[in-house]
């Protein structure tokens, strides 16, 4: 949808979190006199003081209407255009409303005149997006990074003659009607099954990254992932296969993108060597009391925890698991743990119990159920031998006990150092 079309439509911004606020401020700047509606599950009183100030000033000028609180979805029929934030599941919205819905991602794709590199995958897309951005930027290109990993996208919409690296989640891809000219598809595992009807709907959402590509576009895809490979076979784009696990896959993807732009090999390798990995992804916290601590808090599905176990082979002695429930299957992970050299398992609610029930050889494990990171880290020090690894790789989202994966990982790091200093002073 072109920007001038939005001006003529009765518009509701659905979801007034970070992206919804960014959408509103962008459109308010373009259309200073237009009346918008804001809808969110939160009540007005639950917003921050800064957010309440913004809302109140707009209400006073009669330039917005609000539908806040539990009935926020009851008014969708009244609007011509609904700009939905990614966090609101389509399961909550009736089918009759779907033709009215667009997103910040759709608006960007329809109006941005530069080249878009879209990156998706159940795991690895943040690191890959950042790595591609670094390689292109180091080569002197005019390039920007946004999406999940960077800033909201609309502020970049008028930056012509530039390249835009866009990390695309399944939520952002769900209603996308235009694919990027360069698409990077890393992998696909069951995830967000609390958000989608089923796994097939999740796969269908991811498929949009290449669905609308033409013969002049590029699809860089993981040839070793059977679902991604099948999707690639249906694509009309020029296909470039990649291979590898963890950072090897990310690096191969970045190399392939850089070669499309004809960046010299030595420049690519130099940028990759100097790239600083992102936090919370197999991040080495340090060696404390001769124990190696690793923070893999970004591991929010069982498959990435399995990959972490493969990466470290038999060096892991203590593993921290569990979190909020996304209706995922833990049987494969349980089998992997059963056949490992792990001795101690520490579980967070609510999935901790669920994972433990899947593990058969229970006699060989110490196991503990905890409610906070302080308890978990204390147990790590008590039950991990010297020269072994203690790994936080939860296989689950964080929302039962933590704000997000970042808070979970940061608390892990903080408490490791706190208890080390306390024990050293004894």
One DSSP character per residue, 177-193 reads -S--SEEEE----S--T
206, 117, 151, 280: CA torsion to nearest 10: 70
Report the pLDDT value the prediction gives residue 323, as an integer from 0 to 100.
96
Rounded Cα distance, 365 and 79, in Å = 57
DSSP conformational letter for 151: B
Report the pLDDT value the prediction gives residue 362, as an integer from 0 to 100.
58
DSSP conformational letter for 397: B
Report the pLDDT value the prediction gives residue 426, as an integer from 0 to 100.
64
Return the number of other C-beta atoms located less than 10 Å from residue 226's C-beta: 10
Report the pLDDT value the prediction gives residue 148, as an integer from 0 to 100.
66
Strands 283-288 and 291-295: antiparallel
Choose among 76, 69, 70: nearest CA to 90: 76
Report the pLDDT value the prediction gives residue 261, as an integer from 0 to 100.
97
Counting runs of H as helices and runs of E as strands, what totals does the chain give? 15, 17
Domains belonging to the chain, first-starting first, are 3-105 (3.40.50.720), 112-274 (3.40.1190.10), 283-424 (3.90.190.20)
Task: Using alpha carbons only, give the angle 144, 187, 257 rounded to the nearest 5 degrees.
Answer: 40
With beta carbons less than 8 A apart as the criterion, state whether 277 and 247 touch.
Answer: yes
Report the pLDDT value the prediction gives residue 398, as an integer from 0 to 100.
94
With beta carbons less than 8 A apart as the criterion, state whether 33 and 101 touch.
Answer: no
Report the pLDDT value the prediction gives residue 29, as an integer from 0 to 100.
94
Choose among 65, 66, 104: nearest CA to 83: 104
With beta carbons less than 8 A apart as the criterion, state whether 142 and 161 touch.
Answer: yes
Report the pLDDT value the prediction gives residue 363, as an integer from 0 to 100.
59
Alpha carbon of 103 to those of 38, 153, 163, 263, 308: distances in Å? 14, 11, 21, 33, 34
Which is it for the CA torsion 112, 115, 120, 124, positive or negative?
negative
Report the pLDDT value the prediction gives residue 289, as an integer from 0 to 100.
95
Written as tens digits, the pLDDT of the chain (426 aa) is: 899 999 999 999 999 998 999 999 999 999 999 999 999 999 999 999 999 999 999 999 999 999 999 999 999 999 999 999 988 988 889 889 999 999 999 999 999 999 999 999 998 999 999 999 999 999 999 999 987 665 778 988 998 889 999 999 999 999 899 999 999 999 999 888 778 889 999 999 999 999 999 999 999 999 999 999 999 999 999 999 999 877 789 999 999 999 999 999 999 999 999 998 889 999 999 999 999 999 999 999 999 999 999 999 899 999 999 999 988 899 999 999 999 999 999 999 999 999 999 986 655 789 999 999 999 999 999 999 999 999 999 999 999 999 999 999 999 999 999 999 987 776
Rounded Cα distance, 150 and 131, in Å = 13
Residue 166 has φ and ψ, to the nearest 5°, of -120, 110
Report the pLDDT value the prediction gives residue 149, as an integer from 0 to 100.
63
Report the pLDDT value the prediction gives residue 414, as an integer from 0 to 100.
97
Report the pLDDT value the prediction gives residue 191, as an integer from 0 to 100.
83
292 three-class SS: strand
Report the pLDDT value the prediction gives residue 306, as an integer from 0 to 100.
95
Choose among 208, 133, 184: nearest CA to 163: 133
120 three-class SS: strand
């Amino acid at each position: 949808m072109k920007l001038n079309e939005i001006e003529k439509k009765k518009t509701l911004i659905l979801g007034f979190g970070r992206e919804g606020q960014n959408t509103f401020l962008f459109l308010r700047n373009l259309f200073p006199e237009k009346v918008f509606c804001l809808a969110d599950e939160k009540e007005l009183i639950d917003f921050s003081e800064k957010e309440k100030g913004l809302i109140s000033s707009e209400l006073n000028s009669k330039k917005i209407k609000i539908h806040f609180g539990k009935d926020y979805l009851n008014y969708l029929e009244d609007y011509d255009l609904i700009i939905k934030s990614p966090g609101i599941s389509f399961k909550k919205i009736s089918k009759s409303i779907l033709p009215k819905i667009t997103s910040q991602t759709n608006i960007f794709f329809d109006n941005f005149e530069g080249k878009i590199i879209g990156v998706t995958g159940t795991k690895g897309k943040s690191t890959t997006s950042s790595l591609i951005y670094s390689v292109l930027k180091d080569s002197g290109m005019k390039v920007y990074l946004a999406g999940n990993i960077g800033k909201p996208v609309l502020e970049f919409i008028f930056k012509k003659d530039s390249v835009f690296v866009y990390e695309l989640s399944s939520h952002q891809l769900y209603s996308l009607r235009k694919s990027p000219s360069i698409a990077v598809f890393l992998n696909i595992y069951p995830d967000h099954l609390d958000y989608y009807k089923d796994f097939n709907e999740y796969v269908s959402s991811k498929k949009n990254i290449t669905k609308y590509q033409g013969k002049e576009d590029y699809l860089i895809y993981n040839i070793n992932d059977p679902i991604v490979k099948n999707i690639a076979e249906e694509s009309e784009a020029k296909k470039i296969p990649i291979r590898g696990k963890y950072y090897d896959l990310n690096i191969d993807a970045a190399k392939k993108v850089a070669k499309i732009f004809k960046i010299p090999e030595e420049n690519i390798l130099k940028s990759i060597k100097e790239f600083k990995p992102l936090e919370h992804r197999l991040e080495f916290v340090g060696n404390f009391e001769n124990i190696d601590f690793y923070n893999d808090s970004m591991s929010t599905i069982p498959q990435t925890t399995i990959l972490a176990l493969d990466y470290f082979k038999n060096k892991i002695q203590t593993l921290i698991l569990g979190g909020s429930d996304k209706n995922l299957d833990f049987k494969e992970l349980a089998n992997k743990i059963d056949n490992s050299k792990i001795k101690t398992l520490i579980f967070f609610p609510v999935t901790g119990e669920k994972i433990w029930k899947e593990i058969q050889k229970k006699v060989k494990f110490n196991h503990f159920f905890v409610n906070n990171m302080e308890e978990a880290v204390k147990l790590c020090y008590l039950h991990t031998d010297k020269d072994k690894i203690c790994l936080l790789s939860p296989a689950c989202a964080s929302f039962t006990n933590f704000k997000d994966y970042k808070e979970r990982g940061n608390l892990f790091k903080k408490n490791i150092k706190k208890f080390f200093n306390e024990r050293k002073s004894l």
